[in-house]
Amino acid sequence: MSGPPVRRPRGRRTRASPHAEAREIVFDFLQGYDLLGAFWMTVKLTVLSAVGSLIWGTMLAGMRVGPVPLMRGFGTAYVNIVRNIPLTVIILFTSLGLDQTLRVSLGSDQVDTVNFRLAVLGLIAYTSAFVCEALRSGINTVPVGQAEAARAIGLNFTQVLTLVVLPQAFRSVVGPLTNVLIALTKNTTVAAAIGVAEAATLMKSMIENEAQLIAISAVFAFGFMCLTLPTGLLLGWVGKKVAVKR
């Protein structure tokens, strides 16, 4: 964690050593654990799931406002079912159902890789329901005149949605989508249920092996704040920049 002490002049080392010692005692429990690796796994889960759920969530929103009744029904049912189930159940379903029972191949023979991909799938399935709802509320904020004008010049549904309405809707829902992204970052901890070695898994095994429960909790709380607070601030700024002024 804290790197090897930098070479110092001899005279000063004696003075510096009490600090080094204190540091060693405080962060002793971090020795031998791959903290960065675990958080890197959290980041990978977050980024891949975010991209996937943005795509699938947009498609769901398209279905829910589209002209085909059956797809509308599917979109509504999907969102209402998925939103109401705990994420743990969904992630376990991907592993026990998709992988262990239905034997869907995810292009790898390695258990760890498969579990990672399953976790991403589960997170996408769950998060996209929230992305869909956020987007739909964004579509609501686009003035009716926009869509009417688009139709008047002869655009069809897909064109109205992709060229006129969605670009404006996205700009107005950066805030809600940021909340979804932050929630997703924290939700990746649930992937521990199928043995993905991310931050919460490491935290659990550290708590089991070490005595300093509060110190460990604090380290992980800090780690998550490092991930979520900058995201929130950055996207909050972006949201203000791109918001449609009306």
Partner 1 sequence: MKLRKVTAASAVVLALAVTATACGSDDKKDSDSSGGGKKITIGIKFDQPGIGQKTPQGYSGFDVDVATYVAGKLGYKADQIQWKETKSADRENALSRGDVDFIAASYSITPEREKKVDFAGPYLLAHQDVLIRSDDTAIKSPSDLNSKKLCSVTGSTSAQNVHDKLAPKAQLQQYPTYSACLTGLQSKAIDALTTDDSILAGYASQAAFKGKFKLGGLKMTNENYGIGVKKGSDLKAKINTALEAMVSDGSWQKAVDKNFGPAQYKNEPAPKIGNIVS
Partner 2 sequence: MTSVLYDTQGPRAKRRNILYSALFLVAFAALLWWVITSLNDKDQLAWEKWKPFVHSEAWSTYLWPGLQNTLKAAALAMVIALPLGAFFGIARLSDHAWIRIPAAAIVEFFRAIPVLVLMIFADAAYSAYTNTSSDDRPLYAVITGLVLYNSSVLAEIVRAGILSLPKGQSEAAMAVGLRKNQVMRFILLPQAVTAMLPAIVSQLVVIVKDTALGGAVLTFPELLASVSPMSAYYGANTIASFTVVALIYIALNFSLTSFASWLEGRLRRGKKSTGVVLAPAAVGGTESTGTGVGISI
Residues near partner 1 (CB under 8 A):
92, 95-96, 99-101, 103, 110-112, 115, 192-195, 201, 204-205, 207-209, 211, 213
* Interaction between residue 238 and partner 2 (CB under 8 A): no
Q: Which residue carries 């498609």 as its tokens?
A: 59
Closest separation in Å from C-beta 185 to partner 1: 22
Q: How many residues bind partner 2 (CB under 8 A)?
A: 77
* Interaction between residue 151 and partner 2 (CB under 8 A): yes
* Interaction between residue 224 and partner 2 (CB under 8 A): yes
Whole-angstrom Cα distance, residue 129 to residue 127? Answer: 5
* Interaction between residue 143 and partner 2 (CB under 8 A): yes
DSSP result, 106-140: -S---HHHHHHHHHHHHHHHHHHHHHHHHHHHHHH
* Interaction between residue 5 and partner 2 (CB under 8 A): no
* Interaction between residue 139 and partner 2 (CB under 8 A): yes
Which residue in the set 22, 55, 89, 242 belongs to the binding site for partner 2 (CB under 8 A)? 89
Whole-angstrom Cα distance, residue 85 to residue 127? Answer: 12
* Interaction between residue 1 and partner 2 (CB under 8 A): no
Closest separation in Å from C-beta 187 to partner 2: 7
Which residue in the set 68, 111, 163, 234 belongs to the binding site for partner 2 (CB under 8 A)? 68
Buried/exposed 119-138: b ≥16 CB within 10 Å, e otherwise: bbbbbbbbbbbbbbbbbbeb
**107: alpha, beta or left? (left if phi > 0; alpha if psi -120 to 50):** left
Closest separation in Å from C-beta 86 to partner 2: 4
Given partner 2, partner 1, none, residue 78, with its beta carbon under 5 to 8 Å by kind, binds none
Whole-angstrom Cα distance, residue 90 to residue 2? Answer: 38
Q: Which residue lies nearer to partner 1 by CB, 16 or 85?
A: 85
Closest separation in Å from C-beta 124 to partner 2: 13
Closest separation in Å from C-beta 29 to partner 2: 14
Beta-strand ranges (E) seen in the chain are none
CA atoms within 13 A on the CB side of 12: 5
Element (H, E) at 104: none
First to last CA, the chain: 50
Closest separation in Å from C-beta 101 to partner 1: 5
* Interaction between residue 148 and partner 2 (CB under 8 A): yes
Do the beta carbons of residue 172 and residue 141 sit within 8 Å? yes
Amino acid at 151: R
Given partner 1, partner 2, none, residue 112, with its beta carbon under 5 to 8 Å by kind, binds partner 1
